[in-house]
Amino acid sequence: MPAIKHFITLNDGTQVPWLAFGTGTVHYRRDATPVVELALNNGITHLDGAQAYANEESIGAGIKAAGKPRSELYIVTKLNEHTPVKDVRTSLLSSLQKLGVDYVDLFLIHSPHGHNSQGTLPALWKEMEEIKKDGLAKSIGVSNFRVEDLNIVLENAQIKPAVNQIEFHPYVWKAIKPVVELCKEQGIIVASYGGRSSIARLPGGPVDEVLETIRARVEKTHGQPVSAGQILTKWILQKNAIVVMTTTKESRIKEFIDAENVPDLTTEEINAIEDSGSQIHKRIFMRHVFGE
């Protein structure tokens, strides 16, 4: 059974498996029990959920079905973006009950939407800090936060966010680069989602030819088959970012895990991916947060 070998260290000293199985998108509002069990039985230990996905009970059921001890798992959930500040703790306690655990390893604010316009981000982050202090979440962070949202939190934080989870693929690279740079400067790890969107959802764009050239070179170096998806995953991993993936297929889970064994991309190849991706801008998710 493949196993994750690479871990990323957060600014609070905890370590995260670089690859997470996400239970949104195709699993949104669906029973995720079988796919969570499948992921766990194939070597995934990092599960990425959210209150908004409306399937936390099935994540818990999948964990139970796989029979994995809690100590071997890294479990993430996210605060629904419409949750009032006063209800943050109650909402997490509800999530813990659904997941069948006493704590989550990482609790994220799903997006700043609403709270930034209402001026409640500082109060919201204070609630997150209290949750960490009380041990309900080992680490706390944010998701879909722009530079201005991060700055509001950082100006008022006693505890810095450990993670900012954002859409991350070549066709948003130019837009997210300032966020990525701020996170690096502040010691915040970026978690990526939608990493294969340029080939899975937006095929035929300028990045395709670049990926094929790189894929052929890496495959020759590796001496084993390499996919374009693995090249994109490797590009993200070489940014020291967490990769959140999702699928319904066992073969795809194994392909993602094996991406860490693919030879590193060269600086020139990384630049080529970013230059080609920057020719167009295509955001797939959470467009309302960015006014798109």
Chain segment 78-98, per-residue pLDDT in tens = 999 989 999 999 999 999 999
Query: What average pLDDT does this structure show over 146-169?
Result: 97
| Catalytic residue check, 103 | no
For 156, list phi and psi in degrees, rounded to 5: -115, -5
Q: Could you count the other beta carbons within 10 Å of the beta carbon of residue 19?
A: 24
Cβ proximity of 54 and 28 under 8 Å: yes
Structural domains present in the chain: 7-196+240-248 (3.20.20.100)
Q: Residues of 77-114 as b/e, b for ≥16 C-beta within 10 angstroms?
A: bbbbbebebeebeebbeebbebbebebbbbbbbbbbbe
Q: What is the pLDDT of residue 1?
A: 47
| Lowest mean pLDDT, pick from 25-34, 160-169, 187-196 | 25-34
**Percent of the chain predicted with pLDDT > 90:** 93
Catalytic residue selected from 28, 53, 103, 171: 53
- Segment 179-191, tens digit of pLDDT: 999 999 999 999 9
- Which residues does 45 contact at the CB level (< 8 Å), separation at least 6? 4, 17, 68, 72, 73, 74
In angstroms, rounded to a whole number, what is the distance separating the alpha carbons of residues 62 and 185? 37
Of 139, 140, 190, which Cα lies nearest the Cα of 164? 190
User: Any binding-site annotation on 27?
Assistant: no
In angstroms, rounded to a whole number, what is the distance separating the alpha carbons of residues 11 and 265? 26
pLDDT at residue 2 tops 70: no
